[in-house]
Amino acid sequence: MADEQKPEGSPATPPPGGEAAAPPAKPATPAAKPAAPKPAAAAHAAPPKPPATMAATPWDSDLAKEIKERFGDHISETSTYLGQSFVVVKPDAAVPLVEYLKLEADFDYLVDVTAVDWPKRAERFDLVYILYSFARNERLRIKTFIAEGFKPETVVNVHLTANWLEREVFDMFGIEFAGHPDMRRILLPEEWQGYPLRKDYGILQQDDRWVKENLGIESGQ
Amino acid sequence: MPDATFLDSTELVLNMGPQHPSTHGVLRVILKLDGEKVLGADCVIGYLHRGVEKIAENRTFAQFNPYVDRMDYVAAISNGLGYCLAVEKVMNVEAPPRAQTVRVILTELNRIASHLLWLGTHALDIGAITPVFYCLREREEALKIFEKYCGARLTTHAFRIGGLLYETYDGFEKDIRDFCTMFLPKVDEYEELLTNNRIWVSRLKDVGILSAEECKEFGVTGPVLRAAGVKWDLRKAQPYSGYEKYDFEIPTRQNGDTYDRYVVRMQEMRQSVRIMQQAVDSLAEGPIMGKVGKVIKPPVGEAYVSIEAPKGELGYYVVCDGATQPYRVRVRPPSFVNLQALDRMIRGGLVADVVAVIGTLDIVLGEVDR
């Protein structure tokens, strides 16, 4: 299981190029492996590849500097990978950062809020905000690492669209957002037990009691 | 509430769906009404939830490819394109030019098929019975091309990571050209039926208005955003699959009402034909599969890739941990996000308008619920 903690700029990696509006893939970048392993034999016998962390490079831009100046210690990383920039921020500063980007830097469209579960890490979840700016035609990911049970502040007051998106994160990961106006499950039934997108929730697992009580069958499988 | 008389009643809660013909699937809307006026709406979704994102973590990259077709099943090809582009991005490979052109042709054809189904059912909801027959007649021609190309009509699984599995069949170019010449006059035909039709106009004009600012607040994209006057289309803003090579326009309108969204989608179908014609003319010989091994194993990393699906911005956020299975696939579904604006759009309107607004949002519940 790869740890998402990246070293500040791996030495062997040249910058992957422009930060925005880049065409889907940049074949000239040697940062990542350009193609999949050569035919079958290699794929089967190959030992695990050496880079266990994401080969991200530091993100140099005016905006990155501004963010660092403004938020100082709260920013733990500003990097770019495959031409996509992201900022890693301390949980407390995530919402102020999103708000700052909306008001001062034209990132007026919150594309998505989602999470990734890393059960072996101390701060178990990645909380990811994907932002877009119509004026700059640029995307930016804000990532923050939170521990289980931590209640991050809601971003609904900045972007209304976060309402359902955060409800889905709560539904799937059990991350409760403080100050959210309507913190209920959205896709699963309200009485459902368990958070399916956590890694310790099995693919065949279900809430047997709910299924039995509401559907009158032993199993939905 | 108990003191209210029927004539001077306060609030009535009306349940609409999940089994209702005009909710386009299993959407349940709890309406709060004052007489015929809508005070608010609460959507209950999830009836079609299949845990697509969970399934992704338990399948290899290639195995998950067919599953994405089952989200927005009326635009399966767009779903597949987005997924393939996202995985290609984390692998840092690109499909060869011929594959990209074929992808553009099929995706645009799928956009037309999706818009046709929307137009037919939307008109049916409003009370115009005829257009649905016309629309499905032309959609059938598009589905036939899909069937000839890959054997499936709806859930096509047309693309593979790295390019295409199938070369085009003999007569593919001719079929596409024939479709284009056949289809343009048909759009005029639909417009003749509807655009200036008095009932159609009075049912749609100034109904379900969503301004550009509201669209941005709610993250609403696609034709809904363009009908509010924002000239934004990912095919132009951040071109993928060679869209920068084609000459086409982004249709926009100003009012952001249901009628404008109708007009925008009609014009989009014409633009799709333009793109298809240019793409088929520029279709050059060449390989159709990029340098992708039999086992797809991207390096550790993550990427967010989005495309302009018929409903709006469809994004895939793929996280890889160096294994043959994705560590996490997040789908950013346009229908789900757009549906959130329903409450804002119908508040203050009439019950009858709810049907018009659900229709104009062009949601597919398979994608809302995933």
Q: Which member of B51, B301, B315 has the closest CB to residue A196?
A: B51
Is the CB of B299 less than 8 angstroms away from the CB of A33?
yes
pLDDT digits (tens, 9 = 90+) for B210-246: 999 889 889 999 999 999 989 999 998 999 988 989 9
Q: In the predicted model, is pLDDT for residue B20 greater than 90?
A: no
Interface test with A, best of B43, B60, B238 (most A CBs within 10 A): B238
Q: Cα A61 from chain centroid?
A: 21
Distance from the Cα of B306 to chain A's closest Cα (Å) equals 9
Among the listed residues B51, B144, B36, B164, the one whose alpha carbon sits nearest the alpha carbon of residue B98: B164
Out of B299, B322, B340, name the one closest to residue A164 (CB): B340
Q: Contact at 8 Å (CB) between A47 and B110?
A: no
| Helical (H) or strand (E) element with B285 | none
- Cα(B143)–Cα(A13) distance, integer angstroms: 46
CA distance A155 to chain B (A): 12
Distances (CA, A) of B200 to A181, B102, B239, B345: 38, 37, 35, 19
* Whole-angstrom distance, CA of residue B330 vs CA of residue B340: 18
pLDDT at B8: 59
pLDDT digits (tens, 9 = 90+) for B309-367: 999 999 999 999 888 899 999 999 999 999 999 988 888 888 888 888 988 888 888 88
Instruction: List beta partners, residue B41.
Output: B31
What percent of chain B is predicted at pLDDT more than 90? 42
Residues 6 or more apart whose CB falls under 8 angstroms from that of A178 comprise A151, A152, A153, A154
Output the pLDDT for position A56: 78
How far, in Å, CA of B359 to CA of A1, rounded? 45
The pLDDT assigned to A16 comes to 42
CA-based nearest residue in chain A for residue B334: A111
With CA atoms as reference, the chain B residue closest to A83 would be B303
Find the CB nearest A197 among B54, B216, B241.
B54
**What is the per-residue pLDDT for B33?**
87
**ipTM of predicted complex:** 0.85
| Chain A residues closer than 8 Å to B96 by CB | none
What are B102-158's pLDDT values in tens digits? 999 999 999 999 999 999 999 988 888 888 999 999 999 999 999 999 888 888 888
